[in-house]
């Protein structure tokens, strides 16, 4: 049986094809497409219309937008699209953009700060009208280039040193205090703040600083929180042994009491969960945990993970809203919008009363 000949897809018709079919110039077809057919005779307008139908011609939306000087595109750059926070912010921003008639273009850095400038340049090549940046913030020059080209920029969660732009974020200090106070009130006294590498990432720096500030302030009142102590551990993805050892040292310092951990985001929370499994420990009995980010799986891990829920949808909506206001001509000094987190207590932070001892 002879092989079936594959049918090649028909090439998309161009404006030149329409002009040739109608026997007119490309400029005449352009006038028709831009609703300036009053400049054409009825006979020529009809010929162009018939040619368009015969060729199933559809003008490129991008080309049409650029002719009008507007692409209706907004660029979103995220540090790590595998982080549930970034995905949730993306969803919120996308909703706001759709409601305002804009499309969102995503560039994922994969946590590689060296690609920040590449991301800006790539999205600028698509004529995006502005940028929403949730990056590591290590290359402030890349974002500054976008601003110098007259394109507004809104920063989400992470600041860029020296850059004047609208900034939308969680109130990191308030959120850390919320989680730390919950652990202390439950009975934990030896605390560990576990973060991804902190170096120059503003949100991580703010959370660590807030944690140690809380420890200092609370330890200053030994009658209420006797023996309170806290440290930080940076947990790179590849260093599972380092995290295991840090948790072992934490329990050793805690003595008879189980210690408590605050994990700085959902990615770190999973690393702590994996370490608990490797060590054969149980939440509550061996270690208490409060993690940043309320994920879909938080209620189903162990006895349920206590979390600090971020208003991610609202963060994305506000970031897109701020940018769209700028695109519409709003001229105000840079704004800072900080939203409150919400504690969602579950079994992972329940203190075992049998081993609590005296407070």
Please classify residue 260 by burial: count the beta carbons closer than 10 Å to its beta carbon, then call 0-12 exposed, 13-18 middle and 19+ buried: buried
Q: Give the distance from CA 125 to its chain's centroid.
A: 22
SS3 readout for 101-128: CCEEEEEECCCCHHHHHHHHHHHHHCCC
DSSP string spanning 13-62? P-HHHHHHHHTS-HHHHHHHHTT-GGGS-HHHHHHHHHHHHHHT----HH
Residue 5: pLDDT above 90? no
Percent of the chain at pLDDT above 70?
A: 89
Chain segment 307-348, per-residue pLDDT in tens: 999 999 999 999 999 999 999 988 899 999 999 999 999 999
Cα distance between residue 287 and residue 194, in whole Å: 13
CATH number of the domain at 351, please: 3.40.50.2300
The bridge status of strand 190-195 relative to strand 130-134 is: unpaired
CATH number of the domain at 30, please: 1.10.260.40
* pLDDT, averaged across the chain: 87
pLDDT for 354: 43
pLDDT for 35: 63
* Residues 32-57, mean pLDDT to the nearest whole number: 80
Q: Is 64 among the domain residues?
A: no
Residue 137: pLDDT above 90? no
113, 114, 118, 119: CA torsion to nearest 10: -10
Q: Are residues 166 and 242 in the same domain?
A: no
Residue 322, phi then psi, degrees to nearest 5 = -60, -45
Which among 225, 222, 163 is positioned nearest to 188, based on CA atoms?
225
Chain segment 211-238, per-residue pLDDT in tens: 999 999 998 887 788 889 999 999 988 8
Q: Is 78 among the domain residues?
A: yes
Structural domains counted in the chain: 3
Q: Are residues 209 and 349 in the same domain?
A: yes
pTM over 0.75: yes
Q: Give the distance from CA 233 to its chain's centroid.
A: 23
Residue 65 · residue 137 · CB < 8 Å:
no
Q: Is the Cα torsion angle 53, 57, 60, 63 positive or negative in sign?
A: negative
pLDDT for 355: 46
Q: Is 5 among the domain residues?
A: no
The bridge status of strand 342-344 relative to strand 306-309 is: antiparallel
* Residues 50-58, mean pLDDT to the nearest whole number: 84
Name the pLDDT band for 358 (thresholds 50, 70, 90): very low
Cα distance between residue 193 and residue 261, in whole Å: 6
Residue 357: pLDDT above 70? no
DSSP 2: P
Cα distance between residue 155 and residue 201, in whole Å: 13
Q: Are residues 162 and 79 in the same domain?
A: yes
Gyration radius from the chain CA atoms: 28
Give CA angle at 303 (301, 305), nearest 5°. 60
Q: Is 93 among the domain residues?
A: yes
Domain that holds residue 21: 15-59
């Amino acid at each position: 049986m002879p092989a079936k000949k594959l049918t090649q897809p028909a090439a998309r018709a161009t404006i030149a094809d329409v002009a040739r079919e109608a026997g007119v110039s490309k400029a005449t077809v352009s006038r028709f497409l831009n609703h300036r057919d009053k400049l054409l005779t009825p006979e020529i307008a009809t010929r162009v219309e018939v040619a368009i139908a015969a060729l199933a011609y559809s003008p490129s939306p991008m080309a049409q937008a650029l002719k009008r000087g507007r692409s209706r595109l907004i660029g979103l750059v995220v540090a790590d699209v595998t982080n549930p926070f970034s995905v949730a912010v993306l969803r919120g921003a996308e909703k706001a953009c759709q409601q305002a008639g804009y499309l969102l273009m995503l560039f994922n850095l994969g946590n590689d700060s060296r690609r920040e400038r590449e991301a800006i340049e790539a999205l600028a090549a698509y004529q995006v009208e502005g940028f929403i940046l949730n990056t590591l913030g290590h290359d402030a020059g890349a974002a500054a280039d976008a601003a110098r080209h007259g394109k507004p920029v809104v920063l989400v969660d992470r600041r860029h040193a020296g850059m004047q732009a609208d900034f939308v974020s969680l109130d990191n200090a308030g959120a850390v205090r919320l989680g730390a106070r919950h652990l202390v009130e439950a009975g934990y006294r030896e605390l560990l703040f576990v973060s991804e590498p902190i170096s120059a990432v503003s949100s991580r720096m703010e959370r660590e600083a807030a944690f140690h500030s809380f420890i200092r302030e609370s330890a200053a009142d030994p009658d209420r929180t006797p023996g309170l102590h806290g440290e930080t551990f940076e947990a790179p993805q590849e260093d599972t042994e380092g995290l295991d050892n840090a948790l072992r040292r934490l329990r050793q310092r805690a003595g008879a009491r189980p210690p408590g951990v605050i994990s700085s985001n959902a990615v770190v929370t999973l690393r702590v969960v994996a370490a608990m499994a490797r060590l054969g420990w149980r939440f509550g009995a061996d270690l208490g945990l409060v993690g940043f980010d309320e994920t879909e799986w938080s209620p189903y891990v162990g006895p349920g993970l206590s979390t600090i829920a971020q208003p991610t949808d609202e963060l994305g909506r506000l970031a897109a809203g701020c940018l769209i206001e700028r695109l519409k001509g709003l001229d105000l000094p840079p704004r800072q919008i900080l939203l409150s987190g919400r504690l969602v207590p579950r079994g992972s932070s329940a203190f075992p009363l049998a081993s609590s001892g005296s407070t």
